């Protein structure tokens, strides 16, 4: 197993190197020589990588390449002059010079321009206005509307970073309906779709503001570019940094298997966390991309299935600690300065409406800085990751990197998930506004504070009587000083830390496995188990556990509760100490002080346990 992991890691690294070299137009043989790998490996790695859409389909070696290079230079020159040229415009220009080139190829050349190898996934190039296209995703459509000035009366950026307000819900819904060929579309339905984004962490609601939502650009970036290697350059990008990523873009090879997603190094940081994450990943990776052609999704996505069950984040309590002050945009701006430069690489092509052919905006038009980073961000209520003047959401990897780096600061401020950064262990998380109580990213397990939380109640559970275990905790919560699974109310101030809490919950929710941990080997069977009546399996487990040393979690809580009540009655001042002790002892010794020996199977006890369970359920 160990060995296998190592090989995997090595191969990922190797693959990255191969890809990078290939991106730098190095030939297969040369790569093979440099990296001491067979040419066939190089070929297969590159082939695989192309299949994932992460490497631009670079022209092959040989004569054809030279021709392509010529085209490329031409296109590049053209795009240098006018980055906002659409591929069609480039095509037209080339045609006027007697060269025919498909827009697809121009797209590719555009990708290769200056960054060699970072190709945006196909979805990003979907023609933005292809009426009737059912492929477009709502968030994409929203972004589209947001960047068009003509819709600013309908929907616009407003308030916080990434926050937008739907000024005319009916109109937005209508537009969405038109786009999706759903004439029956209305805001109610549209908003339902938006609400589904809460679980995916793409969007969340700005509480108290009508029709106001907020993008989690972090999530969008990670969903669509989960393999941008954040760690390779590190630190702020110098002011002189080129507007587009140059040769050294760090784009990881997309994982072929879930185990590739998390390198062993990452996993080592918190075996519990990461192995758990990896397990989930192994259950299936989800693509968040509209046409399924693009990069895989990442851990967060795999986690979201649980979040989905659990309900939206904001209702989940956050970690304890004082609310963190919001970072000013200026602060971020200062830390990561960046020249205003044209953005030729936006996945959102210039709208034909926004930039009619032949009437191209000046290079430094307000529409140009269109990256979702803070660098171009000047505090203003109307500003957004995308410049209001009909600009673009940039998936330029360097911008993504800066954006993410800047956002590590704002993780605490903008509802961004610290979990997202687990994928990028090398990222330096600036902590300029740390309170005394540091917010530990769960990289260091020992410093990670767990808070037990019951799973949130679904609608059904809310309506139905509580389960035995939860009724125990809820009944215990009525008496003070009693150990309990604490459910803390979330305040708006705490909301910012919500994500971390979710992280904790994600792990602690592995209930089945947690129970396994507490279980001792089952006692030898004494008699054939009677058929378990439906709905009584749990009781049977509880009862059965009495016969062995198997103490299910729920029963442990019950015992803790009665024990603590007893202690409380005695007025024990060293209660907490005892709790810890008893907790420790509990795991070693058979509990039930004064009760019958654990090994003796008492039918009375069984019955009592069953009754208790039933009672709890009924209450």
Q: Which stretch binds DNA (CB under 7 A): 186-194, 398-406, 521-529, 564-572?
A: 186-194
From 93, 138, 383, 612, residue interacting with DNA (rule: CB under 7 A): 138
Backbone conformation region of residue 231, classed left if phi is above 0, alpha if psi is from -120 to 50, else beta: alpha
Nearer to DNA, 5 or 134 (CB): 134
C-beta closer to DNA: residue 187 or 424: 187
- Residue 312 contacts DNA per CB under 7 A: yes
Q: Is 290 in the site for DNA (CB under 7 A)?
A: yes
Q: Spell out the alpha helix ranges (H) of 24-118.
A: 28-35, 39-51, 63-81, 87-96, 103-112
Closest CA to 167 of 207, 213, 216, 136: 213
CB of 289 to DNA, least distance (A): 7
Alpha carbon distances (Å) from 352 to 135, 137, 147: 20, 20, 13
Q: Tell me which of 190, 222, 273, 443 binds DNA, using CB under 7 A.
A: 190
Q: Contact region for DNA (CB under 7 A) — 29-37, 225-233, 288-296, 352-360?
A: 288-296
In the bound complex, what is the minimum distance in angstroms from residue 297's beta carbon to DNA?
Answer: 8
Select the span of 31-39, 187-195, 250-258, 466-474 touching DNA (CB under 7 A).
Answer: 187-195
Q: Which stretch binds DNA (CB under 7 A): 201-209, 365-373, 425-433, 494-502?
A: 201-209
Tokens coding 507 = 């792990």
Catalogue the E-assigned strands of 556-600: none
Q: Which of 167, 189, 440, 556 binds DNA (CB under 7 A)?
A: 189
Nearest residue to 135 via CA among 314, 289, 4, 356: 289
Length of the chain: 619
User: Of 314 and 366, which CB lies nearer to DNA in the complex structure?
Assistant: 314
What is the spatial distance between Cα 19 and Cα 13, in angstroms, rounded to a whole number? 10
| Residue in 196, 553, 565, 612 binding DNA, rule: CB under 7 A | 196
3-state percent helix, strand, coil for the chain, nearest multiple of 5: 50, 5, 50
Q: Which of residues 202-221 bind DNA (CB under 7 A)?
A: 205, 207, 209-212
**Contacts with DNA: how many residues (CB under 7 A)?**
43
The yes or no reply on residue 283 touching DNA (CB under 7 A) is: no
- Helix and strand numbers (H, E) in the chain are 24, 4
Burial 37-53 (b: 16+ CB within 10 A, else e): beeebbeebbebbbebb
HSE-CB for 328 with a 13 A CA cutoff: 6
Among 15, 110, 180, 392, binds DNA (CB under 7 A): 180
- The window from 272-280, 311-319, 404-412, 537-545 that contacts DNA (CB under 7 A) reads 311-319
Which x/- pattern, by CB under 7 A, does the window 404-423 give for DNA? --------------------
d(CA 617, CA 615): 5
H-helix or E-strand containing 180? Answer: helix 169-180
Shortest Å distance, C-beta 589 to DNA: 40
Q: Which residues bind DNA (CB under 7 A)?
A: 134, 136-139, 169, 176, 180, 182, 184-185, 187-193, 195-198, 205, 207, 209-212, 284, 286-290, 308, 311-312, 314-315, 458-460, 462
């Amino acid at each position: 197993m160990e060995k296998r992991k190592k090989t995997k890691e090595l191969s990922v690294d190797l693959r990255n190197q191969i890809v990078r070299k290939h991106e730098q137009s190095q030939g297969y043989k040369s790569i093979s020589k440099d990296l001491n790998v067979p040419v066939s490996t190089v070929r297969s790695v590159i082939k695989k990588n192309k299949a994932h859409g992460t490497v631009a389909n670079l022209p092959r070696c040989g004569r054809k390449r030279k021709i392509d290079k010529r085209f490329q230079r031409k296109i590049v020159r053209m795009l240098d002059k006018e980055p906002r040229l659409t591929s069609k415009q480039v095509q037209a220009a080339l045609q006027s010079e007697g060269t025919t080139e498909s827009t697809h190829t121009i797209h590719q050349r555009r990708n290769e321009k200056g960054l060699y190898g970072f190709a945006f996934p196909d979805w990003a190039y979907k023609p933005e206005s292809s009426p009737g296209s059912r492929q477009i995703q709502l968030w994409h459509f929203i972004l589209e509307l947001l960047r068009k000035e003509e819709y600013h009366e309908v929907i616009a950026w407003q308030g916080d970073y990434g926050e937008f307000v739907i000024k005319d819900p009916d109109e937005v819904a209508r537009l969405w309906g038109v786009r999706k060929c759903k004439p029956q579309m209305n805001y109610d339905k549209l908003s339902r779709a938006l609400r589904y984004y809460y679980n995916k962490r793409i969007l969340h609601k700005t509480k108290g503001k009508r029709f106001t939502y907020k993008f989690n650009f972090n999530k969008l970036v990670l969903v669509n570019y989960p393999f941008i290697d954040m760690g390779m350059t590190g630190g702020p990008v110098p002011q002189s940094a080129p507007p587009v990523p140059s040769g050294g873009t760090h784009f990881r090879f997309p994982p072929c298997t879930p185990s590739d997603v998390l390198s062993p190094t990452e996993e080592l940081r918190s075996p519990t966390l990461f192995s758990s994450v990896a397990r989930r990943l192994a259950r299936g990776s989800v693509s968040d991309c509209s046409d399924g052609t693009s990069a895989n999704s990442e851990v967060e996505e795999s986690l979201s299935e649980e979040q989905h069950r659990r309900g939206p984040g904001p209702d989940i309590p956050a970690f304890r600690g004082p609310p963190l002050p919001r970072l000013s945009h200026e602060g971020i701006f200062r830390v990561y300065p960046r020249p205003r430069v044209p953005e030729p690489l936006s996945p959102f092509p210039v709208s034909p409406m926004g930039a009619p052919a032949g009437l191209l905006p000046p290079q430094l038009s307000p529409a140009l800085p269109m990256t979702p980073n803070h660098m171009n961000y000047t505090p203003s209520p109307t500003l957004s990751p995308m410049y209001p003047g009909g600009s673009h959401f940039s998936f330029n990897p360097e911008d993504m990197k800066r954006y993410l780096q800047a956002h590590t600061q704002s993780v605490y401020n903008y509802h961004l998930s610290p979990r997202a950064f687990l994928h990028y262990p090398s990222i330096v998380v600036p902590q300029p506004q740390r309170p005394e109580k540091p917010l530990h990213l769960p990289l260091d397990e020992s410093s990670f504070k767990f808070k037990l939380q019951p799973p949130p109640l679904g609608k059904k559970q809310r309506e139905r009587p509580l389960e035995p275990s939860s009724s125990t905790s809820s009944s215990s919560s009525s008496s003070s000083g009693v150990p309990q699974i604490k459910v803390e109310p979330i305040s708006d101030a705490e909301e910012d830390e919500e994500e971390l809490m979710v992280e904790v919950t994600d792990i602690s929710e592995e209930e089945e496995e947690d129970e396994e941990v507490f279980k001792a080997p089952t006692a030898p069977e004494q008699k054939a188990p009677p058929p378990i009546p439906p709905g009584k399996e749990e009781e049977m487990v509880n009862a059965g556990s009495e016969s062995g040393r198997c103490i299910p979690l729920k029963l442990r809580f019950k015992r803790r509760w009665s024990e603590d009540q007893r202690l409380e009655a005695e007025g024990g001042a060293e209660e907490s100490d005892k709790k810890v002790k008893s907790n420790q002892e509990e795991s070693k010794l058979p509990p039930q002080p004064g009760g019958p020996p654990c090994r003796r199977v008492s039918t009375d006890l069984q019955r009592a346990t069953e009754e208790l369970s039933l009672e709890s359920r009924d209450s």
